[in-house]
């Protein structure tokens, strides 16, 4: 029989306190582990997004160079590059969510307003499908002397070059946002 003055005696109150503290510790540990895993996933998708945007940016840069040569009347040297774009799935949903979460830019719209990185799928699709597609159709007839493709290509190249530069700027902004987010150790967006 134990007496009430025995220091090793465990009372019901102590048992309940130990149980509650154990549960609280488990809940807190679970929360911290889940938070860390979420942050880790966000960093991974930010890094993945930066590399996807980098490959798109390389092709847009080549396309701008071609559009500049075409607008100057020089031979394009080939068709507009567009192989990095294979539809809206080129930019995965998780990467798009990281772009949207980090894009805190100006939300005003209008002529001349910079393109928002959150609209990256729309603008890349317009560039790779419409601009590259239209220019490649015209470039097919570039060397045909009976074709009016050369004059049309020069006119369109001038218009498309400004659009392509906006897409390039948007891609650089998106890459910068994703790279910064991928480097954050605590609380990546």
Residue 5 included in any domain: no
Residue 179 included in any domain: yes
CA–CA separation, 84 and 53 (whole Å): 10
pLDDT digits (tens, 9 = 90+) for 145-180: 777 777 788 888 889 999 999 999 889 988 988 898
How many domains is the chain partitioned into structurally? 1
Look up the pTM and report it: 0.78
Mean pLDDT of 125-144: 86
**Structural contact between residues 95 and 45, judged by C-beta atoms closer than 8 angstroms:** yes
Residue 68 included in any domain: yes
Host domain of residue 138: 12-183
Residues making up the chain, counted from first to last: 189
**Structural contact between residues 81 and 62, judged by C-beta atoms closer than 8 angstroms:** yes
DSSP 110: S
Residue 113 included in any domain: yes
Which residue has 């979460």 as its token pair?
A: 101
- Say which residues have a Cβ less than 8 Å from residue 55's Cβ, sequence separation at least 6: 84
pLDDT exceeds 60 at position 1: no
């Amino acid at each position: 029989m134990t007496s009430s003055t025995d220091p090793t005696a465990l009372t019901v109150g102590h048992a309940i306190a130990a149980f509650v503290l154990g549960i609280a510790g488990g809940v807190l540990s679970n929360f911290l582990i889940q938070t860390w895993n979420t942050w880790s996933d966000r960093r991974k998708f930010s890094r993945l997004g930066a590399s996807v945007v980098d490959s798109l940016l390389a092709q847009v840069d080549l396309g701008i160079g071609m559009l500049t040569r075409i607008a100057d009347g020089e031979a394009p040297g080939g068709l507009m590059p567009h192989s990095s774009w294979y539809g809206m799935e080129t930019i995965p949903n998780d990467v798009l969510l990281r772009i949207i979460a980090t894009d805190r830019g100006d939300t005003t719209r209008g002529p001349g307003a910079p393109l928002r990185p959150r609209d990256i799928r729309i603008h890349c699709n317009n560039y790779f499908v419409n601009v590259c597609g239209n220019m490649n159709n015209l470039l097919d007839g570039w060397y045909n002397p009976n074709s009016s493709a050369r004059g049309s290509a020069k006119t369109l190249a001038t218009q498309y070059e400004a659009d392509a530069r906006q897409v390039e700027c948007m891609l650089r902004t998106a890459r910068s946002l994703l790279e910064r987010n991928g480097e954050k150790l605590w609380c990546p967006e």
